[in-house]
Amino acid sequence: MGMWLFLITEVMFFGGLFLAYMLYRIWYPRAWSEASLELNVLLGGTNTIVLIGSSLTMALAVRAAQTGLRKQTVVWLLLTMALGLTFLVIKYFEYAEKFEHHHVPGFDFHFPGPDAGPAEIYFSLYFLMTGLHATHMVIGFGLLSVITWMAARGRFSPDWYTPVEMSGLYWHFVDIVWIFLFPLLYLVDRAHHFA
Amino acid sequence: MAGHVSPKSTYYAIFGALMVLTIVTIAVAYQPLGSWNFPVAISIAVTKATLVILFFMHAKYSSKLTKLFVATAFFFLAVLLGLTMTDVLSRGLKTYPGGAGGSGYGVREPRPASAAPDAAGAH
């Protein structure tokens, strides 16, 4: 229950950023469209699949803990961590690409056309939102490391597996944030062509 | 406190549904639906999030108090986004042709600094 309460505060934390995104999108629709075309849908889409897959393995880890299957719990947790790491590695390559293309605000930012200013706002929000999300992933990875260690030592039983369940809730929450980030940042303005 | 144990098949089915919705949302993004692209994308995302919350996070089998917590989070998120949008999107509706806050506003040339600050409701 405390975990749900914490997640409510997290909803508002990310909610403020989504609000900022919405406002600037309304004010600068053309820049939003132009800038979002620069994002890599292949990498973003792959990461969506990876992250949802990690939610599946996390759910299966909680289930294994519920039913007292120690070895399976550890295996599913390790798989979840591996998928989480995959996500972060792909994200690293995406960020590197942004540096190459001068799309990082503050680092020699360049954007052709008249929308360089608002496009820089777009990329600022892109880095803020995905960066905060990635930070949550790193924290989740740390949590899961501890949980996996505890599970391997046989600390959990069908009577007490609360930490597994709690980190599961957190992990799924981070997945949900991405479920909204991906279409909003990568996809939604792709078909809007402003001549 | 063993809680509700879902069969594995439920988790695989939800994962399959999430994958299908991901593909749909990518495919739809390349269709020029005009102002419909946004609501379609958001509806798909909300559906995916709902599936995750209900089944992966077990909200479907949780206590009423937990359900209330979840509803509270989204209620206040809706207040935050909804009321702000009501303000922004209705700015200048009566003083500026077509309204100043809606789509297209940012495309126009910025108003000269000397212009009266009344009509467009610039932020």
Find the residue in A nearest to B78 (Cα).
A15
Provide the whole-model pTM: 0.87
ipTM above 0.85, yes or no: yes
- What integer is the mean pLDDT of A56-66? 94
Q: How far is CA A184 from each of CA A90, A167, B23, B57, B114, rounded to the nearest angstrom?
A: 19, 26, 15, 23, 36
Q: Which residues of A touch B93 (CB under 8 A)?
A: none
B62-72 mean pLDDT? 89
All residues of chain A having their beta carbon less than 8 Å from the beta carbon of residue B52 are 55, 172, 175-176, 179
Interface test with B, best of A14, A47, A166, A190 (most B CBs within 10 A): A190
Residue B87: pLDDT above 90?
no
Nearest Cα neighbor of A144 from A58, A64, A60 is A58
Cβ–Cβ of B106/A66 closer than 8 Å?
A: no
Q: Where are the domains of chain B?
A: 1-61, 63-105
Place of tokens 């809606």: B102
Q: Given a cut of 90, is residue B91 above it in pLDDT?
A: no
**8 Å CB contact of A169 and B57:** yes
Note the pLDDT of residue B97. 62
Q: Over 60: is that where the pLDDT of B108 sits?
A: no
Distance from CA of B44 to the nearest CA of A (A): 9
- Closest approach of A144 to chain B, Cα-based (Å): 16
Question: B95 to chain A nearest CA, in Å?
Answer: 18
Q: How far is CA B64 from CA A1, A8, B61, in A?
A: 11, 16, 9
- To test the contact with chain B by mutation, choose from A160, A179, A184 the residue with the greatest count of B C-beta atoms within 10 A, namely A179
d(C-alpha A174, C-alpha A136), whole Å: 7
Rg (Cα) of chain A, in Å, rounded?
A: 19
pLDDT greater than 60 at residue B56: yes
Contact (Cβ atoms closer than 8 angstroms) between residue A145 and residue A53? no
Q: Is a pLDDT exceeding 60 seen at residue A73?
A: yes
CATH superfamily of A2-187: Cytochrome c oxidase, subunit III, four-helix bundle (1.20.120.80)
pLDDT at A134 over 90: yes
Identify which has the larger pLDDT, B1 or A11: A11
Residue A64 has pLDDT above 60, yes or no: yes
